[in-house]
C-alpha cells in the first residue's frame, strides 16, 4: 500500500511512496505539468494494467491537491530530485505507517528493497515497463555515489 502509481492525465507516469494518509513522495523529474489537477495517485495497486475494481479491495484513485518540488532540485544533475504530493483526500484503507530508518541500517553496501513499475532493462527508459508492481534488492551507495 505504500507504493503508489503517480498518474498524469490518467496515465502512469512514475512511482511514489505514501508518507502519511494525505502525503506522498515522488521524484521531482516526474512533475512536469504546471498544475496539481493534472495528477492523481493510484493506491493499493499491484497491476496497473487492469481495472482497480479487480486489483484490490482497497484500490482507489486520489487527486493530487498540491505539489511541492524541492527548491534546490537541479534538472541537469538530478541532485535534490524530490517532490511532495498533498492528496485531496486521505487514503481510505490505511494502517499504521512504517517507521523511517533511524540511519542504522542504511550504511553503504546494505541491501535495500526498491519497488515500482520501472524499466526491466538498463537503458530502456520505461519503454517495456511492466504493468505489475515489481521489486529488486539494490545496495545502498555512499553520498559520493560509490
* Eight-state DSSP code of residue 47: B
Q: Which of 32-36, 101-105, 139-143 has the highest mean pLDDT?
A: 32-36
- Look at residue 16 in the predicted model and tell me its pLDDT: 95
H or E stretch covering 115:
strand 111-116
Nearest to 11 by CA among 34, 35, 30: 30
How far is residue 2's CA from residue 105's CA, in Å, rounded to a whole number?
Answer: 19
Hey, which residues does 49 pair with through a beta bridge?
none
Three-class DSSP category at 38: helix
CATH number of the 3-87 domain: 2.40.10.10
- Provide the H-helix boundaries in the chain: 52-55
Q: Give per-residue pLDDT as tens, 83-132.
A: 999 999 999 887 666 665 666 667 888 888 888 888 777 766 656 678 89
- Look at residue 98 in the predicted model and tell me its pLDDT: 62
User: Please, are residues 142 and 108 in contact by the beta-carbon 8 Å criterion?
Assistant: yes
Q: Where are the domains of the chain?
A: 3-87, 103-146
Sign of CA dihedral 103, 106, 112, 118: positive
Rg (CA), the chain: 16
Amino acid at each position: 500500500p505504500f507504493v503508489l502509481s503517480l498518474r498524469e492525465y490518467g496515465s502512469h507516469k512514475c512511482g511514489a511512496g505514501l508518507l502519511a494518509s494525505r502525503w506522498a513522495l515522488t521524484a521531482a523529474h516526474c512533475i512536469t505539468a504546471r498544475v496539481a489537477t493534472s495528477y492523481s495517485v493510484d493506491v493499493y495497486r499491484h497491476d496497473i494494467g487492469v481495472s482497480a475494481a479487480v486489483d484490490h479491495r482497497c484500490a482507489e484513485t486520489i487527486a493530487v491537491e498540491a505539489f511541492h518540488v524541492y527548491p534546490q532540485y537541479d534538472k541537469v544533475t538530478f541532485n535534490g530530485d524530490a517532490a511532495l504530493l498533498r492528496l485531496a483526500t486521505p487514503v481510505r484503507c490505511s494502517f499504521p505507517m512504517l517507521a523511517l530508518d533511524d540511519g542504522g541500517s542504511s550504511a553503504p553496501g546494505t541491501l535495500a528493497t526498491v519497488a515500482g513499475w520501472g524499466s526491466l532493462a538498463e537503458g530502456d527508459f520505461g519503454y517495456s515497463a511492466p504493468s505489475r508492481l515489481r521489486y529488486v534488492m539494490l545496495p545502498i551507495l555512499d553520498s559520493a555515489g560509490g
